[in-house]
Structure formats: structure tokens, C-alpha cells
Structure 1
């Protein structure tokens, strides 16, 4: 037997035994009863510590140490708790955390204390302020023995926690504790209860967390593998999306429908493909599922794998004898979706597998149009190298990829397209606009600079005879105006109505643009086809500050148009008294 030093409580016991062996004191008669020793009350002193190692929560209690709830709880000391209960502590009292003692003991896995409390009348279904029961806490912490004790005393298994709507079974499943799950199911825990707000059952939870061993028992207890959550997902969708191969296999064995659709119309196969879960995809293929089975939008697993850039899944799917160009409801192929999302490696993979880069969707767009529209420069680079691709092919609206890239401000895409042979001065027929005009109207100054540097005509006119400078001035786009003027465009070009960019800026009240144009030499006295100056346009629309600015720059306030009206007359007719007052003061000073 191992020799160990005696702890203090052992010494106390030995001393007591020695005292019992001492003969009666001198003067005592044989048979005479000794006076009864003073007895300590139970709450004041502890029982002797058993002959064992000190418990992990602390050293053995000292002889004479006062009994306390904290000590009993820390050491799972049932007799100490029983002593406390006998001397006035109520079984329904609260512990250090403010929860009933039973819940405190259950949460800590103190089986001995739980047993004492239950035997002294503690209610097994008492709740914490948060709505937890002892069974929930024990199940969530994996305390199997405590769960068994509570169930033996009739603890209700289907009580739901107030906020989440979850039962003790949810807690056990989340932990993946099979013995606790089986114990709860044996006591009629209902696996069909849904939590809040997700509307999921415990089978959803087990599937999502990959607890494959729990799936069989739950299904045998009537959990349905095809139940959809509030978000429209089945347990199989969750297991597939999270890559839990064993859980997917267990659900399939339990009767889960592999082609069930979620709220988005996708099957678990689609979900796995989108998430790049190659192991689950391999399992589905081994089970004979088709890699081109369509979802509600007629998209196949090949589509969603391409869209999300899951190259490993793409390669596995393309190893089957299938077409790389199935079309969805909008006529889009996997290559188009990959291009639109900028999944350049997926684009390269599909092109190597023979995908058709010239295929068009219902809008007449190719993969190159979609990549340009989203600014996916690297994908554009791959597509421009594909057989038969022409960089200037128009879509149904007669927009080229370059026009789309310019319209959305994608400078790198513009650069790739021009370097790949796209022409910068092609004209869209409806408004006779080039890529430059589209970039200007949307204020994409970096694209404007790129196109100008690549040779775009800065003085091109649209169907309305407007130049890029007209378009920029009308919108008050000062950085674009600067870029165009740096390209040496005329500052006073005329549109179809004879108006200059300055006049258009005045009409729209673009004060900063007016100042910039005047600074760059725009003529404030220029007249349009109505014989209006810029001042007329400012007065007509009530822009007093601009009117004052024009007068200060020499625009004559007394000039009359063809009908003999002055700018002040227009302001009066349109009801702008502040402009009238300012211009009348200007007239009197002239």
C-alpha cells in the first residue's frame, strides 16, 4: 500500500480514538456513566472527511469547519447539503447564480446534490429567470447521470426555453451526446418540436453540426428527414452544405429525399456544389444522382459550382460525360455565371473543358458581356483568348462589352478589352453614344481618362448633337470636365439647339461647373438658337447665384432675345423675385 502523509483530519480521528482508549479518571466508580460531551449542532460542524484523496474542487474540510452551501456545491457533498436542508435551508432556495439550487447543481453536474434535492422535494421542472430547467442545463452540459436522475423523478422533456423555443433535446443534440439523447427520447422527448426563429428541429441541428450518430435514433423517434425549416432548408441541405459526409449518408439511409428542394429551389446536391463540398458531391454521384439535374431556375450543380468558383467540384462533375453548356431559364451557361461573378479559375476550367464562349443568353449577351458588365478583368482575359470570341460583338441592345464596362466604371476591364482589340469609337445606334459618352454620363472619370488615352474621340457628338463636355456640364461633373478639357476639347461646342456646355450647366444650376467653365474660358455672351445667353438659362430656372456670377463675368443683363425679352423678364414671368431684384440692380448699373 502506498505510504502517504497524514492530513489533518486523519490526525484528528486518531486522536479521538486514543481518547476513547484512556481509562476512567481517578475517583470514578466502575460502571459510572461519563458525562455526555457537548454536542455541536449540525450546521456548525462537518462530518469527518472520508479516507480518500482531497476532491478536485479543494482540500478536505477541516475539523470544525462550518457547513456552507458554497462548500457543498463545490464538493458535490450530499450529506453536507442534507445537513443544511435539515437545519432550515429550503430545497427551492437559490444558489450563487440566482438560479434554484437544483438548477445550479444540475448545471455543474453535481449528481449527489441533485439526488438529495430531489429527495427533499425540489421541483424537477423549476425554471431559472431565463426560462431554463435543470434538465436543459444538464443535457446541454452532457451530465448523463444528472439527466437520468431528473428523468427518474418525472422531469418534463418537452418544456421549451422561453426565447429560443428549444427543449432539453436540442441542448443534448447540440453537444452531440448520444447517451443523453437516447435517455431523453426514451422518456418521450419530441424530436419534431421546432425552435425559434429558425423553425428547425433537432434533426436539422444534428445534420448541420455533423452528428451522424444521432440521426438514426432521432429518425426512429419520428423526426422527419424531409422537414423544411422556416428558411426552407431540409436537414439534408444543412448537412450537405456543411460538408458532413457521414451525416449526409445517415440521412439518405434514413430515407431523406436527395432531390428535395429548398426555398430557393435548390437540391442538397446543388447546395453541396455551391459550397464546394467535394466529398458530399462525390457521395451523391456514387449514389447515382445526376450532375445536370436542374433546380427551380433550371440551373444544374454545374451552374452553381461555376457561379461560386468551386473548381474542384467542377472538375469532378466535368469528368462525367455531360455537356459543359447546359442553359438555365435565362439561357445562361455555367461559363456565363462564372464570368459574371469573376470566377476566373472556373472560367479557365470550363474553357479547357470545351465550354462555348460564344453562347448567348436570352438578352443576347455572351460570357464576355457579363464579365465586362461586372468588371471581371481576369475573366475577360481568359475569354478573349477563347476560340471565336470577338471583343466587339453587340448584345440585343447593341451594346458592346467595352460599352458595358465603361458604363459601369470598370477601368481594368476597359483596359483589358481595348488591349484585346475592342474598338473605342464604336457607336450605339439608338442614341449614337460611344463608350466615352457612357463613362462621362455616369461620372467615371478614371474610365474617361483611360478611353481618352486609348484614343477615344473627345469631340464626338450624339444624336442630339451633344459632345461629352455637354453631358458632363449638364450633370455638374467637374472632375470629368477637367479630364475632357485636359484633352484639349473646345470649351464652347454647340449642340443641336445651339447651346454651349456653359448654358447647360446654368440651366441645371451646376454652380461649380459654371465656375470651372468660366475659369477655363467659356464665353458667357454666347447665344443659342433662341438668342438666349447663359444668363437667360440661369434666370429662367431661378438660379440667382449663377446669374450674379455671369453678370460679374460680363454677361449683359440687358440683352434681349428674339421676342424682345430680357433675362429679368423671364425671371419675373417664372416667379423668381430674388433673381429679378438682382438683375434689375445689374441693369441699373449698366
Structure 2
């Protein structure tokens, strides 16, 4: 009967804590309800009260002896234990054997006796952690006033400050910092007991995973390695924390005020995780332009690439974040930097069909072409006077002249032609400026181009004759010159002349002057 009453009181206490019923909680505690009794999922009454932000209930529980942070192992605790000293598996402590050993009942039904405490890690449900997560600043203050550890991390290494910044609770983050949360030089919580780390075992080159079991002082720490080994007095320089950066997570979720708070107290703006992703990278990845702008103002490296060679601009273009890409380009981001697979921001934007970003990138990569596209002759003049390459082509061979003709800009095309643009240069599909002008029925442009082509034809023919025979349209084979100093393959011009026996003469394919077979030479005529 007493056991049933105890269970009933426990359930009622959980309900009272969840709903903020202070009077009921007091009555239950007065009648024997256990203040620290956890329910099946591991939550204690104090955890439940802090989860809901019921400060008065939490204060009552603390007055009645509730434990703020309990790292001690007890029967019934939800834990992870290294089965036979190997990998961690979830379970519960079924019995305290004494002398630091415990029996474990694993969730998969297996059991193990006499497991050493160093092979067990408690899945702690921290009242402070949940209060920070839910933004209950008064509950956080109460817990800290009652001795809660301000830097106590969960099994994944997330501290109260990290979780507050993840959720964007600036007041909570500010309170934690006021109460002594320490940031290391990278803006993460400094080394502390229980922190997940990697350590150079016995000073060797390779790092091994483990946890800090004790702070020895003077920059030295005892390490409990995940493989069961232990090492004492390891210097801090041999330890690297598997850190979760509060600044990184704040920027990932777009919490600008939290990010500003962290930067103002010295968080490292260019901190990077194991993949080389910085706060700026992750802000750009998720399209948080205000966070990205703040980071740039604070000196974030806009050209810094991840281990895969991806820059903040690259990831913004891949994800289609136009405003972020514009911000980065306006701040001098490298527009053509490729990742390790050779993909540029432009190519990845095209692959993902982000047409607005493609246009934005081409405007920065090919400013003259962009001006020609809109017919802005003043901008074109400034660019050309500044040394812009008049025939610079895009990845598919499109030139400024071709673009001007495509869009019907006569004045732009005339300027380019007058400045020496290649009139017959085709794109990768073989389309010339004249071809596209005809296709779009820009009649004034067709007339302009044909006029310039007529003037340029002799020059074009000479240029062509410098590289290939104009009869067979192949590279020269045994090059020969006529008396009018035009060159052809010897066999080709000989065949043309022999079509008119017995004189063996024919008009030159270029200038129509008579060509005699006997006058063909292997070098130009000198006059």
C-alpha cells in the first residue's frame, strides 16, 4: 500500500511541476513524495519545473533538497556503458555493487555485472540545460544561484551557452557569460572536466578520442580515452577539444543578436569545424544575410574555403541564396574560385538552375558583356577605357558583341565594332553575331553587321589564309604562293589550274587575278 501511495505521489508531483502548481507540490512533498525521484524517461521534478519555466516550483524543490546537477551514478540511472570495455550501448544501472562498480541492464536485453564507473557515462538530463534551451532566464538564474555548473556539457559536448545560442536566447546567453562561462581562444567553452577531446597520446603525432577526467591545474589534465586507457597530467597543448562553437550555431540558425554578443566578448570570427566550415560559411549556406553581414563587418574571411574547397560564395550559389551571393560579391568574394572537383560558383548555379544567380555571377565575371546585354553604352565606354577585354567570352563562347546583337542594341554593337570586336566570332553552338541578329529579326543590326562584314572581308580572308588553305579549308600541306601572293596547298592550286588546259591557268580564288601553273612558288613573291 505504501509503495502504491509513493508511486501515486510521484506521478502527482510530476504533474504539479509541469503545470506550476506550487501548493500541490508542497503538499505532496510534505506527505513523502521524493524530491529527486526521476520518471521513466529520466526527468526529475526539478527538470520538469525548469523545462516549463515554473520558477516558484523550482525554488520549492531546491528548498526541499533537490539536486541541481547530479553526476553521481545511482541505481535506475539511464546511462551508456562500454559493453565488455568496447563500444558504448544504452541501458540502465540495475545495481550498485560498491567500490565503483555497477551492474548494467542494456536496452537490448543483455546484462553485464561489475562494470567500472570509468566505462559508464550518465545520460544526464540537466535542469540548467533545459531551462537554457527553452529560454527561461529566471529559472536559469535560480539554478546558477543554487550551484549549477555553468559550463556543464551534455554527452555531445553541448554546453548551456551553446544551447542558448542555438535557440537565440540572448538574455540567457548574457546571464551565462556574466556568471562565468569561459570562452577559449576559438570562442568555444574552455577545457573542463567531462569535455570530449582528442589527445596526442604520450605526445605522439596521432590524436585519440577521450574525455577530460580531471583538471590537475597549471594547464594539465587527466584523460580517460574511449578505448579504456588513461593518461595523467597531459599538457593543454596536446589536447584539442571536439568543440561546439556557440558562435557557429548562432550563425547557422540566424540568431544575429546572439552572434553579436559572442563577437563582442571575443569569440573567434573565423573558427572552423573539422570540415573547415566557418560561421560565415554556415550563415551563407542557410541564407542568413544579416548574420553574414555582421560577420563580414567583424572581419570574417570571405575567401576562406572548406576542406572541399568550397567558399561562402560557392555554397550560397549552390543553395540559390541571391541576396547573400550579392553581399559577398559586393565585399570582394572571389567570383571564379572552384572547389576541389573543379566546379565554380557559376557552374554549380547553372547546374541547380539558379538563373538569377547565374546572371549575377556573369555580371561580375564579364562586366562588359553585362553592359552590352542592357545596351548601356556609357558603362561600356568606361569599361573599355579601363582596359576591359573587348572579345572576352563566357563559358559557352558568348561575346559582348553577340550579346548586344541578341538583345537588339544597335548603338552598343556599333561601339564594339568601332573598337575592333571580332565580327565573325561564333559561340560554342556555331552562332555568329549576324546569325543571332537575323534569328531575332533585328533588321538594323543585320544591316550594320553586313556593312562591317563587307569592309572586313579582305582582312578576314587574309587572316584565314594565314592558317588554312581556302580551297580545301584544311591546314596547309606543302604551302605554295601565287604571283598575287595568296597561298594555298600546292596540290589544291595545281588542281585548280589544271582544270583549264592547255593554258593551265585559272582565276585566283581570292582576288580573281590570273594564276599560271608555272608561276606557283614555294615562297612569297618579293616586289
User: TM-score, structure 1 length as denominator?
Assistant: 0.45
User: TM-score, structure 2 length as denominator?
Assistant: 0.50
Relative contact order: is structure 1 or structure 2 higher (C-alpha 8 Å, sep ≥ 6)? Answer: 2
Larger radius of gyration: 1
